[in-house]
Amino acid sequence: MPRHLEKRRRQWYAHLNIPKDLRSTIGRRRFLKSLGTESLSVAEVKVLPLIIEWKKQIAIARGTDVGTDDELLATITKVRQDAQRLKGQGTSDEVIQMIHEDIAYTRSWDEDRGEFVTNDGALADAVSIVHGSSLLLREHIEEYLASRDVAPKTTDMQRRDIKLFSERFKYAHDATNHKVRDWMNVTLGGEQKLSAGTRRRMLSAARGYWDYLEQHKGLRLEPPFYKVLPPKPKKKTKAMIDAQRKAFRAADFHKLLSGCHDESLKDLMSLAAYTGCRIEELCSLKLENVSDDRFEIVDAKSEAGWRTIPIHHQVSQTVARLVATSTDGYLISGLTFNKYGNRSNAIGKRFGRLKAELGYGDEYVFHSFRRGFATQLENANLSKTISARLMGHEVEGQTFGNYSEGLALKGLREAINHVDWSLR
């Protein structure tokens, strides 16, 4: 049985046992909730946010979730902890709310302002949030990100975007359509000069977080994102076409090799040209996946990218040398990992400096070797299926896409030998 899941009357339920010493405080032995589905795959997706929330409640009851330098969040945690204590004593939700509001909204006369004011603003805000009157946008960010199965780099980017959104709009009710539109277009677009693409990415992150709050935190406000940004242009302008990434040709390949004094980068460029691999596929390629006549790509961008690539005769000596001199078990030896676990970051920047020094603009990137590889395959009149197998793309169609286990190495070698970067 999958963890935290059990089936009752054909429906999947999420469950989590509560530690014995906290059962009297929380008022139950375990958490249990129907996921409203008979599908295991759907249940496995829906269970994670619930488990995260329940574990947070356990942490609050134990008093281990209070440590924060955010006064409001710390106060919210204390109010939730006190609510759990009272509920464990048998106090109803309505009475708990009344007790908290009586404490929070105690007022005193302010001589300077000439009016009655709340003694503890953070406590009043916390009570309002805990008992459902307001939803603090920054409270559930980490919980939301933990529920998503995305790359660490994507998580960091979404965290930055959502935090900016929650800094601009403290509560969910602050984020009206008009205000979000002004923030996106006037502040971010006009004043901060952020591109339309960047703003679309930020809006997408905020929209995903809002959806999570609707599904798991009881948010019932109208989403404020409708027609916030103008639609993408349907027709590409000449400037957009000119800015598209371009493929390297044979002359470019030799120019880059001649201008490069970095031997590791030279080897990497040669391998990219004759394999069509992405930069991280090559940088993460281990010796255990290199044979005398082939590479096995097993750390690709997608499942289709897991593939066999024959070693082109033009780089066979280079591969043999790299295998013999490797000091760390990788074909491209000596590279370091960045915080996202990628080995291509630093050498990719070195390539960026090289191509800029040689006069190549933004339309040329390391991926331009892969474009050049694909261009040569097309000009050799190879079938789309063969090219897709070498490139690591999805093979279309029921027959080859779903049933075939792939082209034999002999056929792949014949195909890849059409790639030729020599000057004629």
pLDDT in tens, 111-163: 676 655 566 667 777 778 877 778 889 888 988 988 888 888 899 999 999 99
How far apart are the C-alpha atoms of 61 and 55, rounded to whole Å? Answer: 10
One DSSP character per residue, 250-278 reads: HHHHHHHHHH---HHHHHHHHHHHHH---
Indicate the residue among 174, 199, 230 that finishes a domain.
Answer: 230
Residues 320 and 393 in one domain: yes
pLDDT at 399: 36
**35 and 42 Cβ atoms separated by less than 8 Å:** yes
Same domain assignment for residues 278 and 396: yes
Q: Any residues with CB less than 8 A from the CB of 353 and at least 6 apart, and which? A: none
- Phi then psi for 140, rounded to 5 degrees? -110, 15
| Whether residue 147 is found in the same domain as residue 121 | no
| Domain assignment of residue 344, yes or no | yes
Give me the residue label for tokens 């040689």.
358
Q: What residues contact 269, with CB distance under 8 A and at least 6 apart?
A: 253, 256, 257, 260, 351, 369
Residues 6+ apart with CB under 8 A from 157: 201, 205
Question: Do 34 and 169 fall within a single domain?
Answer: no
Q: pLDDT tens for residues 231-280?
A: 876 666 656 655 678 999 999 999 999 999 999 999 999 999 999 999 99
Contact 377, 419 (CB under 8 A): yes
pLDDT at residue 95, rounded to an integer: 83
**410: Cβ–Cβ under 8 A, 6 or more apart, which residues?**
none
What CA–CA distance (Å, rounded) separates 262 from 352? 13
Residue 314 belongs to a domain with what CATH number?
Answer: 1.10.443.10
Q: Give the model's pLDDT for residue 2.
A: 65
- Residues 258 and 407 reside in one and the same domain: yes
Tokens of 106: 């105690």
Task: Indicate whether 77 and 154 sit together in one domain.
Answer: no
pLDDT at 121: 67
Q: How many domains does the chain have?
A: 3
Could you give the 3-state DSSP secondary structure of residue 15?
A: strand
What is the Cα Rg of the chain in Å?
29
- Please indicate, yes or no, whether residues 86 and 168 belong to a single structural domain of this protein: no
Identify the segments of the chain with pLDDT beneath 50: 66-67, 398-406
* DSSP H or E run through 97: helix 93-104
Q: Are 126 and 78 in contact (CB under 8 A)?
A: yes
Residue 183: which domain range? 138-230
What tokens were used for 120?
């503890």
| Nearest Cα residue to 146 out of 54, 80, 58 | 54
Angstrom distance (rounded) from CA 122 to CA 396: 58
